[in-house]
Amino acid sequence: MLKTRLLVLSISVLFSQCITHNNKPNDTSHEALQQLILQCNADSFTQAITEHILDEIRQPFWVRTIRGKINNAIDQEWAEDSRVLFEIRGIDKEKKIRHTYADKYGVFEMSNVPEGQYCFKATVNGWDSVMGVIIVSKTADPKNEIVFEMKLGT
Range of the domain at 75: 28-150
Output the DSSP codes for 82-120. -PPEEEEEESSS---EEEEE--TTSEEEE-SPPSEEEEE
pLDDT, tens digit, 9 for 90 and up, residues 104-135: 899 999 999 999 999 999 999 889 999 999 99
Between 74 and 14, residue with greater pLDDT: 74
Residue 105: give its domain's CATH number: 2.60.40.10
Quick check: 132 and 60 in contact, CB under 8 A? yes
**97, burial (CB in 10 Å: exposed 0-12, middle 13-18, buried 19+):** middle
Residue type, 141: D
Whether 95 is covered by a domain: the verdict is: yes
Residue 39: pLDDT band (50, 70, 90) is confident
Whether 16 is covered by a domain: the verdict is: no
Whether 141 is covered by a domain: the verdict is: yes
In the chain, the number of structural domains is 1
Instruction: Supply the pTM of this predicted model.
Output: 0.75
**Residue 153: which region, alpha, beta or left (left: phi > 0; alpha: psi -120 to 50)?**
beta
pLDDT, tens digit, 9 for 90 and up, residues 55-84: 999 889 999 999 999 998 887 778 877 889
